Amino acid sequence: MRKSIFIAAGLFLSISTQAQLLDILKSTVKDKTGIDLNNPQATKGSTATATTTATTTTPTSTKTTPLNVGSLTSTQISSGLKEALSIGVTDGVKKLALTDGFLKNEAVKILMPEKLRKVDATLRSVGLGSLADEGVKLLNRAAEDAVTEAAPIFTNAITSMTITDAKNILLGSNNAATSYLQGKTQSQLFTAFQPKVKASLGKVGADAVWKNLISKYNTFTGQAVTTDLNEYVTTETINGVFKMVADKESGIRNSPAMRTTSILQKVFGAQDGNR
């Protein structure tokens, strides 16, 4: 009889211990996960919410912003940008190098240096407007003569464009390629242009005309005005080239009709969807 009592007591204690362990386990699960094992349905909504939250927030933490250029390869992007710049440079330089390429194009025409605007006004007031006009014309003639020096410098800069440069330029502003080119060539162009412009000023007779023009002004006013025409015309010539290249780039980016080759159509057609 005593033996049976001891066995029953042992079983009771064993069951009681298991129940306590189970309660501890349920409590731990609820604390860690929010799931109540005594009533799973009550926590179904919160479980779903937790799952949904994890699903929606996980991609955000690893999300990047890739360049969306469709099926274009890096080589195609690079080739398209280089071709666009080459066309812009070739067309721009060719047009500017013609007689009146600067003079008759109001967007790039080289005017009387600001420092000498009073010279222009004074000469016209005493009937020497034709001399002032001739001075301006010859500044533009010098630029037209010198501008061909730009081509090889631009070609070198375009050839050295990297894949990364090209990708950034493609999805950039309307003049992103021109700005890239300007950054790469500005100082080289100035160095190359200065001696050419100086020679061109002498070649077209601008030096003689401007010497006469300044001399007459100084005589009429009793002043001693001088200016560095070489530096002025060099800077204005470079600005004119970049203006023409920027116009061509903007046209190719915004007008499918100006994409005259298959690579331009493919590359800038992909760009259309990202702007």
Contact between 240 and 139 under an 8 Å Cβ cutoff? The reply is no
pTM, to two decimals:
0.69
Q: How confident is the model at residue 39 (pLDDT cuts 50, 70, 90)?
A: low
Which range among 75-79, 152-156, 222-226 shows the weakest confidence by mean pLDDT?
222-226
- Joined together, the tokens standing for residue 38 give 């005594």
State yes or no: pLDDT of 54 exceeds 60. Answer: no
**What was the pLDDT predicted at 59?**
37
**What was the pLDDT predicted at 30?**
56
Closest CA to 94 of 259, 199, 248: 248
pLDDT (tens digit per residue) in 143-182:
999 998 888 888 888 988 888 888 888 888 888 999 999 9
CB-CB neighbours of 95 under 10 Å: 16
Cα separation, 144 vs 138, whole angstroms: 10
* Average pLDDT of the residues in 184-212: 91
Cα separation, 219 vs 137, whole angstroms: 23
Looking up tokens 């470079």 gives 238
- If you average pLDDT over each of 6-15, 36-45, 205-214, which comes out highest? 205-214
Domain assignments of the chain as residue spans, ordered by start: 74-272
Cα separation, 66 vs 11, whole angstroms: 67
